[in-house]
């Protein structure tokens, strides 16, 4: 297979725990089948920092800060097909549990009230991305083409969707591969 016909895939984690990426690696030896057909662009697997033009983008985690917004938009711009991977990408997940609190009260509690080493200062370094007032799933910020539910999705579910997409098929998950927890 020449480089032009090979499928290019990028992956990233926004407000997630890398559990979905870990589950992705659980496809085990099927990873060898995969790398015969695909090239990885930006991904924790490659250490490429900037996403280039890709066929498929897999994103784990929701959108909780300004940097997440930028990365998500870059992925949307460069990936022909964008896939939300796992609970946080799909409904905000655990980080979104702060959505019923005001951001001010969260920052206050974490950096000013609760005992800890921070020394009573809300970090204001321009290097740090600012948090949004609410955590959003991906589809509330950009258009998302496909979703793989689960916390994390099983390796089989990820494998199923990826192989369908690589083969140019509409991905279909068997009911036994659909779970939200």
Partner 1 sequence: MDPMTALAEAPNAATVVRDAVARHGGDVHDLVQILREVQEVCDWIAPEAIDALVAELGVPRTKIEGVAGFYSFFYLAPRGAYRVLFSDNVTDRIAGSAGLKSRMCRNLWIEPGKVSEDGVVSVDLTSCTGMCDQGPAMLVNNRAITRLGESRIDEICELIRSRVPLDEWPAVFFRVDDNIRRTDMLLGSPFELGAAMKAVETRGAPGMLDELLASNLRGRGGAGFATATKWLLCREAPAAAHYVVCNADEGEPGTFKDRVLLTRRPDLVFEGMTLCARLVGARRGFVYLRGEYRYLLEPLNRVLAGRREQNLLGLSILGVAGFDFDIEIHLGAGAYVCGEESALIESLEGKRGTPRNRPPYPVTCGYRNQPTVVNNVETFAAASLIAVYGGSWFAAVGTPQSSGTKLLSVSGDCARPGIYEYPFGVSVGQVLADCGAGAAQAVQVGGPSGNCIDAGEFARGICFEDIPTAGAFMVFGRQRDMFDVARNFTRFFAHESCGFCTPCRVGTSLLNDLMDKLARGQGSPYDFEQIEILNHRLRSLSHCGLGHSACNPVLETIAKFRSTYERRLVHTQYVPAFDLDRALAEARQMTGRQDAGAYIGDRK
Partner 2 sequence: MNAFKLDGRDIPFEPGQTILQAVQAAGQEIPHLCYHPDFKPHGSCKLCSVRINGRMVSSCTAPAHDGMTVESDMPDINEERRTLLQMLFVEGNHFCPSCEKSGACRLQASAYELKMMSPHYDHFFPDRPVDASHADYLLDTNRCILCSLCVRASRDVDGKNVFALSGRGIHTRLIVNAKSGRLGDTDFSGEDKAAHVCPVGAILRKRVGFAVPIGQRPFDPPHEGD
Largest CA distance in the chain: 59
Among 34, 94, 132, 142, binds partner 2 (CB under 8 A): 94
Inter-residue contact 15 to 62 (CB < 8 Å): yes
Chain positions 63 to 92 lying near partner 2, rule: CB under 8 A, are 84, 87, 90-92
User: Using the rule CB under 8 A, is 14 a contact of partner 2?
Assistant: no
Q: What track of x and - describes contact with partner 2 for positions 101 through 140 (by CB under 8 A)?
A: ---------------------------------x-xx-xx
Inter-residue contact 57 to 82 (CB < 8 Å): yes
CB of 4 to partner 2, least distance (A): 31
User: Using the rule CB under 8 A, is 124 a contact of partner 1?
Assistant: yes
CB of 65 to partner 1, least distance (A): 8
- Kindly list the residues in this chain that would bind partner 2 in the complex (CB under 8 A): 84, 87, 90-94, 96-97, 99-100, 134, 136-137, 139-140, 144, 146-149, 151, 154, 156, 173, 175-181
């Amino acid at each position: 297979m020449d480089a032009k016909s090979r499928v290019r895939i990028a992956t990233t984690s926004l407000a997630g725990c890398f559990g979905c990426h870990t589950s992705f690696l659980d496809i085990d030896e099927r990873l060898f089948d995969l790398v015969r057909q695909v090239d990885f662009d930006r991904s924790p697997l490659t250490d490429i920092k900037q996403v280039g033009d890709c066929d498929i983008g897999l994103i784990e985690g929701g959108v909780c800060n300004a940097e997440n917004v930028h990365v998500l938009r870059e992925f949307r711009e460069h990936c022909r097909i964008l896939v939300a991977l796992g609970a946080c990408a799909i409904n905000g997940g655990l980080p979104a549990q702060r959505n019923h609190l005001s951001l001010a009260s969260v920052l206050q509690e974490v950096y000013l009230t609760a005992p800890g080493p921070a020394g009573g200062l809300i970090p204001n370094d321009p290097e740090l991305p600012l948090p949004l007032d609410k955590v959003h799933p991906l589809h509330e910020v950009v258009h998302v083409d496909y979703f793989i539910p689960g916390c994390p999705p099983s390796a089989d579910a990820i494998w199923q969707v990826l192989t369908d997409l690589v083969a140019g098929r509409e991905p279909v998950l068997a009911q036994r591969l659909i779970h939200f927890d």
